[in-house]
Amino acid sequence: MNISSVSSSSSSSNYSAVDNTDQLARLQQQKERLEQQLQEVNQSKEDEKIKQQKVQLLQMKIQQIETQIQQVKEAKSNKCQNSMPVTASANTSSIVDTLV
């Protein structure tokens, strides 16, 4: 007679949702300042080459900020989904005895 056992364990994790509202607000403010600078550059009477370089740089920075905003929103969404309580009990074991 052979007896084999299989045991498995699982643990529950409580994820806490981190509030990223402040980070989002700061990023939004940065974006607004960059957009304001972009308007000022567009309205300036600078040399067109310099103006174009500044516009491209500001647009690139705005795009980076928008990407960061999106990442923070996605992270916040994922953390909210993961914050739901997990119903698995800690260190449960099941033993299966097989008689052959």
pLDDT per residue over 17-32, tens digit each?
A: 445 788 999 999 999 9
Find all residues with CB under 8 Å of 66, minimum gap 6, and list them: 31
| Predicted pLDDT of residue 51 | 95
In a domain, 86, yes or no: no
In a domain, 93, yes or no: no
Tell me if 51 sits within 8 A of 64, measured CB to CB: no
Domain span at residue 74?
35-78
HSE (side-chain half, CA atoms, 13 Å) at 58: 19
Tokens of 48: 């067109």
In a domain, 99, yes or no: no
Could you tell me the pLDDT band of residue 83, with boundaries at 50, 70 and 90? low
| Predicted pLDDT of residue 19 | 59
What is the rounded CA–CA span in Å between residue 59 and residue 55?
A: 6
In a domain, 4, yes or no: no
In a domain, 53, yes or no: yes
What is the rounded CA–CA span in Å between residue 74 and residue 14?
A: 19
In this prediction the pTM is 0.60
Residue 5 has pLDDT above 50, yes or no: no
Q: How many domains does the chain have?
A: 1
| Predicted pLDDT of residue 91 | 41
Residue with the bigger pLDDT between 84 and 73: it is: 73
In a domain, 3, yes or no: no
| Mean pLDDT across the chain | 74
